[in-house]
């Protein structure tokens, strides 16, 4: 089921609808991952710069084909948090080291909000209750409770999502990706 048109919705509903239209194989856990990244950023993904660099280089070396995606994909309601998709970024001449800098600086500097995540997840539950997303409201509520009980952990994309779309991106703040580091 494709998401209904986004006119008249709040911003996070529009973001979810846009992603469901682009990625119809999304599962509920993929929507949670989207909400988590939009509200909490990428801090969980950067244990240290050297590991983040090895991970990025490994991913680039095995990139392969993927679906058409925008280079910059706003995922937060204020437009501040983005997914930078690697394929279009590199195709446009983007430098991996610059993206790595933006990613690491975002992880170190961005402070997200669990309250915002709760609010966004409540919107997902409302969308499910209204039947505008292909998920049951009770399943969305159960996932929300489970994630809250675990302290809102980061999660991986579902196997279905990874298989269908081969996701390759970094979560950064708009000011980091559009402005070079000061160092």
Do the beta carbons of residue 39 and residue 76 sit within 8 Å? yes
32 phi-psi bin (left φ>0, alpha ψ -120 to 50, beta other): alpha
| 28, 94 contact by CB (below 8 A) | no
Residue pair 106/41 in contact by the 8 Å Cβ criterion: yes
> What pLDDT does residue 131 have?
96
Q: How many domains does the chain have?
A: 1
Residue 60: which domain range?
23-116+157-177
CA 85 to chain centre: 10
**Does a structural domain hold residue 4?**
no
Q: Specify if 17 maps to a domain.
A: no
Does residue 34 sit within a domain?
yes
Position 112 in a domain: yes
Residue 76 tokens read as 């937060």
Q: How high is the pLDDT of residue 46?
A: 74
d(CA 172, CA 152): 19
Predicted confidence at residue 27, as pLDDT, reads 98
What pLDDT is recorded for position 1?
35
Q: Does residue 91 lie within any of the structural domains?
A: yes
Regions of the chain with pLDDT less than 50: 1-9, 180-181, 183
Whether 182 maps to a domain, the answer reads no
- What's the pTM? 0.90
- Residues shown for the chain: 183
Starting at the earlier edge strand, list the strands of the sheet with 81-85: 72-74, 81-85, 169-173
Cα-based torsion angle of the residue sequence 149, 151, 156, 161 in order, rounded to the nearest 10 degrees: 60
How is the chain split among helix, strand and coil, in percent rounded to 5? 55, 5, 35
Predicted pLDDT at 5: 36
Task: Report which of 145, 11, 19, 113 is spatially closest to residue 73, judged by C-alpha positions.
Answer: 19
User: Does the residue 55 lie in any domain?
Assistant: yes
| In a domain? residue 103 | yes
Closest-CA residue to 23 (of 36, 10, 34): 34
Residue listed under structure tokens 């980091």: 176
CB atoms closer than 10 angstroms to residue 85: 21
pLDDT score recorded for residue 78:
93
In the prediction, which pLDDT does 176 show? 87
């Amino acid at each position: 089921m494709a998401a209904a048109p986004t006119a008249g919705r709040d911003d996070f509903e529009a973001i979810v609808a846009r992603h469901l239209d682009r990625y119809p194989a999304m599962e509920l856990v993929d929507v949670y991952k989207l909400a988590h990244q939009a509200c909490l950023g990428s801090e969980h993904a950067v244990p240290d710069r050297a590991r983040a660099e090895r991970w990025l280089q490994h991913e680039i070396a095995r990139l392969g084909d993927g679906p058409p995606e925008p280079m910059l994909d706003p995922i937060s309601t204020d437009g501040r948090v983005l997914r930078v998709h690697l394929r279009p970024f590199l195709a446009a001449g983007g430098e991996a080291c610059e993206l790595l800098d933006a990613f690491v600086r975002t992880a170190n500097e961005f402070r997200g909000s669990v309250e915002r995540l709760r609010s966004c997840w409540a919107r997902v539950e409302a969308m499910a209750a209204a039947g505008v997303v292909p998920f049951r409201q009770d399943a969305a509520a159960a996932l929300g409770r489970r994630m809250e009980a675990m302290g809102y952990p980061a999660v991986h994309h579902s196997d279905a999502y990874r298989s269908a779309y081969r996701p390759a991106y970094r979560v950064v703040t708009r000011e980091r990706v559009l402005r070079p580091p000061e160092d």
